[in-house]
Amino acid sequence: MNRIGFLLKVKENMIDDYKEKHKEVWPELLKALSETGWHNYSIFMRDNGELFGYFETPDSLKTAIAKMGDKEINTKWQKMMAPYFEIPAGNHADEMMLELEEVFHLD
């Protein structure tokens, strides 16, 4: 199982709404994440909107994103969430994840 850590940035004026959206993540999206190998998924946020995300997958980040990209529900979620992120216009946040290198792990 691969442990994936990534960074993203939410626009500061949209932080509260971003948090609200994640209180009620669509059940279909949660199902798609599970079906495509996204496990133990967590998102952490600093006060300025910087996000650290973590999940475990049998795949690479690129493959995990590609598998979700095949899910229509993910396309809808990404389109809805795109305005929240500091990313180039027309991109989805999952395409802009900056993967972090794991340098230490303790079980």
Question: Is residue 94's pLDDT more than 90?
Answer: no
| Side chain identity, residue 41 | Y
Residue 92 among the catalytic residues: no
CATH topology for 2-100 is Alpha-Beta Plaits (3.30.70)
Q: Which of 22, 39, 92, 105 is catalytic?
A: 22
In this prediction, residue 8 carries a pLDDT of 92
Counts for the chain of helices (H) and strands (E), in that order = 4, 4
Separation between Cα atoms, residue 55 and residue 82, nearest integer Å: 20
Interacting residues of 54 by C-beta distance below 8 A, sequence separation 6+: 3, 4, 5, 6, 40, 41, 42, 43, 44
pLDDT in tens, 34-85: 999 999 999 999 999 999 999 999 999 999 999 999 999 999 999 999 999 9
Give, in order, the Cα–Cα distances in Å from 89 to each of 15, 29, 82, 93.
18, 23, 8, 10
